[in-house]
Structure 1
Amino acid sequence: MIIVTGATGALNGATVDHLLQHVPPSEIVVVARDVTKADRFVRLGVEVRQGDYADAASLPAAYEGADQLLLVSSNDPAADTVALHGDAIRAAASAGVGRILYTSHQAAAPDNPFHPGAVHFATEQLLAASGVPWTSLRNGFYAHSLQWLAGPWRETGTIAVPGDGPVSWTAREDVAEAAATILLSDRPFDGPTTLTAPAAPTFTELAATASEVAGRSVTFTPLTEDEWLAAQAAAGAPERMSGFLLGFYRAAQAGYFAGTDPLLGELLGRTPRTAEDALVSA
């Protein structure tokens, strides 16, 4: 049995959809904090169980019977996410789960300026110490986030950000499909497993691509951190969010998102979506 958490969200929800193309609903269980939000899976014949990382006592029963458990990373900004992940991992171990798969990130590192990278690294250490076989799906930086990380370039004609670091912008749809393929595969995927687009363009290169997409000149304008923060404040962005996103640009400049790997394309059996595809829809 495959049990999937976070399926009411876009990433793991899409993974469940792909799984259902290959296995009957009786072989899948969805775990949700709010089961009413998982009604579409009930209508498809998928069992839905209640489970919440913030309520550790709810998790062992939610994970019972799992040959494989796909754990989504928490995105609660007010929570100690590593502690929440630890509770979920311990619950999985106590429930006798055969393998834990965790939605991590290619830039999982203790010193990553982008905070989620340190969270993912710490979670991987918990997985390694759990005694349960595990796979960490180190997804590339999600390409749909270009719609805000590249700024309003369609209106301004410029991508104005602090730094010109390379990023392997990776489609969330692609890694969701790849996760389903891994869950259904007889091939072993142990430990960190990197899933990225085949290229890591800089923002200068993205500006050239944006020019082709828009049919007019789009330039790259490098800003200092202070200039970018001032622009964010003038646009009404919350200070906390601006500080969080600044960590992304610092990490990109330091090369944390520059790595690429052919595995995603191999799993998909086709070329993964590109940053250009994301800019078209941005």
Structure 2
Amino acid sequence: MIVVTGANGQLGQLVINELLKTVPASDIVAAVRTPSKAADLAALGVTVKEADYTRPETLEAAFAGADKVLLISSSEVGQRYTQHLNVIAAAKQAGVGLLAYTSILKADSSPLPLALEHKQTEAAIAEAGIPAVILRNGWYTENYLASVPVALQYGVVLGCANDGRIASAARADYAAAAAAVLTSSEPQAGKVYELAGDESYSLTEFAAAIAAAADKPVAYQNLPQEAYTKALLDAGLPDFLATLLAESDTGASHGGLFDDSKTLSQLIGRPTTSLSELVKAAVAG
């Protein structure tokens, strides 16, 4: 039995869909905070169980009988580590054969402040002694695609990444990798995968891709981190998200979002989804 936590989230739903290509629905558990909001997952034939990262008793019940558990990292930055500890403890108590964790690219050396809780979680998994595999996911291309409508409206992409190269991939690519690891016939315990897109780009090139897809001028404007944070706040983003995105751009300027190993495409057996394809779809709306 394979349990996917955070299954109601964007990544979790994609992982479930990938698993269903090769795994019977009866062998998959979608672990979610609010089961009543998972009717779409139940309709796929998978078992839906309550699993709240902040309520250990729900995790213990959700993991009972599990062979493998995918811990999709919490979205609550600043509270992740404590929540992950609950999941790790429940997985250990359940005696799962493999715990897979979605970490961040090069978590042990990343310049992104976002990496701290991932690094702590990886250490906690190792200390717990559970058979585990670490999926160090790079940046989701969707994180930048969200800016396409505004870029088309004003003809500018804002950021503070300078000329840093970003080897992002589509969320679906990372979901395919998680499913591949969870269903692999080869032993996965002890492995650490650095996962990123096949191609890399600067935000100047990202703006050029939008311009080409829309056939209208779009340029990149680099700002100091503080100015970019303010621009995001002025656009209505919550403080934590504005800070996260700006810090991540700065991290990108120091190589934090770049990897050229092509481990992701090797793992999923196909090239990662190209930037141009994703941008064209975003422009088309």
The reply to whether TM is greater than 0.5 is yes
| Residues 207-265 of structure 1: per-residue CA shift (max 9 Å, x gap) | 22222212233222222224323433443444443222211111111111111332222
SS of the aligned residue for 2:31 comes to strand
SS of the aligned residue for 2:181 comes to helix
Superposition map of 1:174-193 within 5 A = 174-189=173-188, 190-193=190-193
SS of the aligned residue for 1:278 comes to helix
Could you tell me how far 1:150 is from its partner in structure 2? Answer: 6.6
| Corresponding residue for residue 100 of structure 2 | 101
SS of the aligned residue for 1:152 comes to helix
CA contact (8 A) 1:70 1:101 kept: yes
| Corresponding residue for residue 57 of structure 1 | 57
Superposition CA RMSD, Å:
2.0
| Corresponding residue for residue 171 of structure 1 | 170
- AA partner of residue 218 (structure 1): V
| Corresponding residue for residue 259 of structure 1 | 259
1:222 to 2:225 alignment: no
| Residues 71-98 of structure 1: per-residue CA shift (max 9 Å, x gap) | 1111124x62101101110110011111
CA contact (8 A) 1:150 1:160 kept: no
CA contact (8 A) 1:110 1:118 kept: no
Could you tell me how far 1:110 is from its partner in structure 2? Answer: 6.5
1:208 to 2:208 alignment: yes
CA contact (8 A) 1:139 1:170 kept: no
CA contact (8 A) 2:225 2:250 kept: no
Could you tell me how far 1:40 is from its partner in structure 2? Answer: 2.6
Unmatched segments (≥5 aa) in structure 1: none
Aligned partners of 2:9, 2:142: CA distance in 1, in Å? 14
User: What's the TM-score once normalised by structure 2's chain length?
Assistant: 0.90
| Corresponding residue for residue 35 of structure 1 | 35
Aligned CA distance change for structure 1 residues 27 and 240 (closer, same or farther; 3 Å): closer
SS of the aligned residue for 1:220 comes to strand
Number of paired residues?
280
Aligned CA distance change for structure 1 residues 223 and 127 (closer, same or farther; 3 Å): same
Aligned CA distance change for structure 1 residues 177 and 61 (closer, same or farther; 3 Å): same
Could you tell me how far 1:154 is from its partner in structure 2? Answer: 1.2
Unmatched segments (≥5 aa) in structure 2: none
| Corresponding residue for residue 144 of structure 2 | 146
| Residues 154-192 of structure 1: per-residue CA shift (max 9 Å, x gap) | 122222222322111110011112211111111233332
Aligned partners of 2:281, 2:113: CA distance in 1, in Å? 25
User: What's the TM-score once normalised by structure 1's chain length?
Assistant: 0.91
| Corresponding residue for residue 135 of structure 1 | 133
CA contact (8 A) 1:143 1:169 kept: yes
| Corresponding residue for residue 69 of structure 1 | 69
Q: Using the aligned pairs only, state the percent identity.
A: 32
Aligned partners of 2:236, 2:195: CA distance in 1, in Å? 35
- AA partner of residue 15 (structure 1): V
Aligned CA distance change for structure 1 residues 24 and 248 (closer, same or farther; 3 Å): same
| Corresponding residue for residue 19 of structure 1 | 19
Aligned CA distance change for structure 1 residues 64 and 237 (closer, same or farther; 3 Å): closer
